[in-house]
Each structure stands twice: as C-alpha cells, then as structure tokens.
Structure 1
C-alpha cells in the first residue's frame, strides 16, 4: 500500500480509498519529478476552456453539515462542500474564482503525483488556474433545472469545472459536490481535509464510499433550501451526473431517489448491486472510452442496465471526462508530463473531439429530459 504524505487520518481504515474506486487505476508511488530537458522555467500556469453558452457563469460555495450522520472516514458529523454554478445576469465587478483555494492548491501540489501517478511533483502553479465562474454574480431571473455532479474516486469536485460551466452557461444550475475523506483535498472550516488513504481496492471500502456519496446527494436534496441560489432551483427538474465512482453514485441515486429525474454516467462501474440498477425506469445516458483499463469489468456491469451508451472517439481514456483533458496536454507541452503519463490519464488522442462529444451529449440529453422552462417569480 502506498502511503500519502502525512495528514490527519484514521488508522483503522486501512483499506484503499482512491484505489478502492479502482476506476482511476491502481495507486503507485510517484515518478521522479525531474522535468525533461527543455521544460519551461518557472511555474506553469494552466487555463480552462471557456464555456460556449450565451450566459456568463456565477459561482458560490457552501458547506453543509449532517448531524444525523457520522462521517465514515474520521470522527465527527458528516460535512459536504459544494460549488453552485449558474447563469448570471451580469458579471461586472465580480472576480473570476480560482479552481482551487490557496490552501487546496498547496495540498494538491503535494498530493498530485500520488493521486495520479505521472502528474508533476513541482513546476505548476495550481492556485493560478482560474475558472470562468464569477464570485457572487447576480443570477438570471427564474427557476431552472438543477444538476448534481460527483467526481471520480480520489478527485475533488473542482475537476468537473469545465463541463459544469458549459452546462451553466446554457441555462442550468450545476452543483459540484465534494465528498470529504474521499476527495484528494477539500477546504472546510478549520482547514484542509485530505484524502484518507490510498492503495488497492477492496469491495467493502468501495461500497462504503458509494453509499456515503449517495447519502451526500440525498442530504443536498433534503436541504436544497440551504444552498446558494435555492430560490432559483426547480425541485421538479433535478438530474445527476458523475465521473467514475461519481457516475456509480449518480446511477444509484437515480434509481433510489424519486426526486432525481434523469442521469448521466461517465464511465462508472455498476456492479455493486446489479439487480438494483437493472430495475432502472428513468432516462440514463452512459459514456465510455476505448482506453479504460477496466473495460472488461465495465462492459459486464453495464450489460443489464436499460440505458443508452455512447463511445467516445478512439484514443481517449478515463480522465478525459474531467478537466485533465485540458490541463494534461498543457503540462506535457511544458515538459512536465511524459507522453506515457498523458496516455494513461486521458489517452494519446487530441482530447478536443472527446470533450466536444461529452459537452454536446450532456447538453442534448438534459435539454430533452430536464428542459429549461424559466418560470418568473
């Protein structure tokens, strides 16, 4: 088992959390941080692609505490952090929000090569990556569909920023959900909470992780009124989508919670409870790549699920559903990521085609299933 850099953690949970997802591949010690000859001097500043919709994007964050539930990874009540992205009326005077807070960026700079072997251990200014979300921008009027997003195992919610901004710019409210203890790092009141442990998967830990994520989604639905932009959210039009373990949780939530009307699974396994997901009677769209190392397991777990499936363009891999699709090629161009590491994370092909398919697919699916029909207050 590979031990992460020192942080507060429960020693009783010795099973893997990042690896427990097994959806991002087995954990390994990071490669040497030496950059290839010719690498750029000074920290590399990364950028995310702009959304294509007609509306600018606002962003607000919130932490919710569920005092009725104990956190499975450390003592205390369960806490969940969210970012709410939404179509804004204007963004004048509202600054763009960094993808990571300074404290989160500092933690991720240390964790990156452990969370995803091949990412650089230095040379990147993670705190300088700006989103296209503008802090506290005034929202467009009316009530809008709500989409809940869950990241992959070991990833933070912020790695779904680009896709969320795309959906928000086309008129939807998107709630990016962090699952502390699972996510690589989350800044909460009192400090940054890092992921618990890493290592090979075990079924019990993965089941605990997914069930915790589903309970986190239910908490948000129970307390929509406590979220930013609550008055703009239409509780009759709620969807869920997620990447990897987040996709697994999104489908389980879709099956078990009547408040969620449609879902998208971005390459998440569905073999925890085959009978449960086989009974799905709601719209579900599932995306996969041709490079995913868990393809055989994925195919088996999807075989009995009543859902439309979409294969991304050839040469894509598991991380192409996340912001790594845009960040990793820039890191490779700067000499900080090898071609092999890039291929293992997002695939060797140009990610632009895969990104376009995912963006268009989600926009079209949710436009049909949860259309934007703005009701003025």
Structure 2
C-alpha cells in the first residue's frame, strides 16, 4: 500500500509509488525480525504482566545522535497559566552522527514523563490501556550526545498533535535523521499531555501536564490560543537554532552540546512538518515565516474552530491565500472530520497555483501518522486493547504497510525540496 494522490478532493486512482515494493518487503523483513516496525514484537519486562512495546527501526544509512534542549523565551508570557512571565519549551534534536556507538541509547520517554503518559493517555485517547505497559522501557535507536557528522544538513521542525507529546513522533523523526536530516521535535507546554523539564521551571515544577480536558477544537478560543502559541513556539525554536548555528548554547542550563552540532545545521534549508494541530501549525508557520522552505501537514485543519453547528470557522491565511512554497497535505480515509477538513484544504489547493499537493492513505485513521501506528497493533496482540479501539485510532491498515508509506512520502517530499547533499 502507498498513498493515493488526490485531485479536487477525490482519489486520483493508483498513484506513483512513494515506497517501492522492494523497500516495503525489506522493511517488513526488518519488522518481523528485529522489532523494527509495525510488526515489531512486544516483549515482557520481567515485572509480572507488564510489557514493553518497540519502535520501528530507521532505514537510512546514518547512525543517529540525540540531545534535548530547554529553551526559554523571555519576550512572551505563558498563555496557559497566569503568573508565568516567560515561555519555556522543550525540544529533542535528532541528527546524523559519527561514532558514538558506545554511548547509551535514549529511551522514548523519561521515567517521569512515562508515568504521567500512562495515566493521561487513556483519558485523552479512549481505548488505550490504563495499565499493563511499561512506557518508560521503550528504547529509541539514537545514541545520547553522539558526535555530529561534519557535513551541513537541512533541518526539519516537528510539531505534534494537540494534547500529544513530542515523543509520539519518535519513529518518523529517527527515520528522517537516518537519511541525513536534523529533526527538532517541539513540545508545547500546557498543550502537550506532559512535558518534563531538567529543573523546576518558571511555574515551579519539573512536570507540566496539559490544560486540555477535551478536544480543544470544541472551544474556539482555546483552539485559537493553541495554534497561535504553537506558531510562536515554532518560530522561537527556529530563532534559537540560528543562535546555535552561530556558536551559542541556547540551553537554559548550558548543558554541553554534542560535538559538531552547531556546524551540522544548515539553516538555509529548513522545513517543518506536524500532525493534526501540528499540521495546522506547520502550514500556517510556512505562510508566516520566509525562513521555511517547505512543509508537510499531516491531517491538520486550516481554519479556526467552528463557533456553532452551522457556523464554520474563518479560514486561516494560508488557506485563504495559498502557499508560494511547497506544501504537502496528507490525510486518511478514516478521519471522522474529513468533511470539515475538506473545506480549508480545497481552498488552499485552489489558491496555491500548483505549489501544494495532497495524498490520502486508505484503511487508516488519524493517529496513523504517529508512533501509535506501530505500537497499537502490539497492544492488540497482547490483549491490552480492543481491535475496535485500534481501528478508531489508526485504522485497519497493516503497520508493515502504513509505517513505510508514511515515512516514504514525507522523506521523499523533503528530499526533493531540501536535498541532504
């Protein structure tokens, strides 16, 4: 399976393949053997009936390094909590590394974040198991603080879905880094289900949980605040990357940077991608910030939240006026709000004069663009969640198909518009 190109809101029939048959077969072989993808095997942790899930292995030729940065914007107040005079953001940087094999492999989540995620995720995404998973045990494929490669590489910013932490985009970030991109995954505190800071932050705690108690799109004011804050966060992170590339350490604690990381960043080649509210963020930030050369929107609305059943929200500027730089729209046939999405996406396509393209993944649902695509089938196989819940969240598509399809389409888009060499 691959994406189907969409023209005027309808499937364009069989599309050119974004993942070749040989690549799909190779990925599937990895999945069944080394726990490398959608068919990865869950394993016990040695703690009774608690299990560990595994993430897909990246397919690129480069070893991956990883580091985290705590960034503080002193020009903005926090929008979600009164009395916080600054805006604090946590990011993870995934990058092509040289050496570093002896360095420890990073976990997907810290122990504190994993405990919070285990409690919050089942409430935010009904059907996820409230117990039985050791979320802190899942390993990535990246080595902490490994020396960076010497050749300058394009950078990609990632904004996750509303209420989701940046860690749920680990598989795609690692895939892109293994093919030569520097990927910067952004948490949006107050929005993300949980954000853990390296020290007590301005609001007097290391762990900050989401303020959302439901779908923020059901509250027009909250949705507007979320998107505006995400755009400002993304542009601020790009500002701090410019400081990093200039030789400064932007980390609030001044923790040592991986060797060679500043020289690795080529900020003449920068893109942005995101899922759901992060896709909204990616598209509108592309429109607002000329430093960005290309963007991918993974099933994000391009309008404000509706103010009533028959009162659709205003189109965002990117949808009203279109884009003059490459923008890829990817969606699923199982998204329950496809009709509402279509209004803003069609407007953008009409006004972009060929600079925007779109494609659809069938037998899939909204969270297939996240690590849930590989994780939920493992939970189903272990009897920790129902098949109905899995289909509602990621669709019925086999992850041995969906994982390489999503990776392949996003990777090919950025490789075309932001070549790594």
Output the TM-score relative to the length of structure 2.
0.77
Alignment of 1:1-377 (within 5 A): 42-74=49-81, 75-76=83-84, 77-188=86-197, 189-190=199-200, 191-200=206-215, 201-224=218-241, 225=244, 226=250, 229-272=261-304, 274=315, 276-277=317-318, 278-305=321-348, 306=352, 307-312=356-361, 314-373=362-421
**Residue 50 of structure 1: CA displacement?**
0.3
Alignment match, 2:5: none
Residue pair 2:374, 2:403 contacting (<8 A) in 1 also: no
1:155-210 Cα shifts (integer Å, max 9, x gaps): 00000000000000000100000000000001012211111131242111111100
**Residue 325 of structure 1: CA displacement?**
0.4
Residue pair 2:368, 2:393 contacting (<8 A) in 1 also: yes
1:327-373 Cα shifts (integer Å, max 9, x gaps): 10000111001011101110122122222221111111111111112
- Give, in whole Å, the separation in 1 of the partners of 2:263 and 2:285: 23
- Give, in whole Å, the separation in 1 of the partners of 2:100 and 2:339: 46
Output the TM-score relative to the length of structure 1.
0.86
- Give, in whole Å, the separation in 2 of the partners of 1:298 and 1:352: 27
Which sections of structure 1, spanning at least 5 residues, go unmatched?
1-39
Which sections of structure 2, spanning at least 5 residues, go unmatched?
1-46, 201-205, 245-249, 252-256, 305-313
Residue pair 2:64, 2:142 contacting (<8 A) in 1 also: yes
Secondary structure of the corresponding residue to residue 223 of structure 1:
helix
Aligned residues: 333
1:7-36 Cα shifts (integer Å, max 9, x gaps): xxxxxxxxxxxxxxxxxxxxxxxxxxxxxx
RMSD over aligned Cα atoms:
1.3
**Residue 230 of structure 1: CA displacement?**
2.8
- Give, in whole Å, the separation in 1 of the partners of 2:63 and 2:385: 32
Secondary structure of the corresponding residue to residue 238 of structure 1:
strand
**Residue 275 of structure 1: CA displacement?**
5.7
Residue pair 1:316, 1:351 contacting (<8 A) in 2 also: no
The 1:336/1:41 distance shift into structure 2, 3 A limit, reads farther
- Give, in whole Å, the separation in 2 of the partners of 1:271 and 1:85: 31
Runs in 1 of length 4+ with deviation above 6 angstroms? Answer: none
Residue pair 2:124, 2:214 contacting (<8 A) in 1 also: no
- Give, in whole Å, the separation in 2 of the partners of 1:286 and 1:94: 37
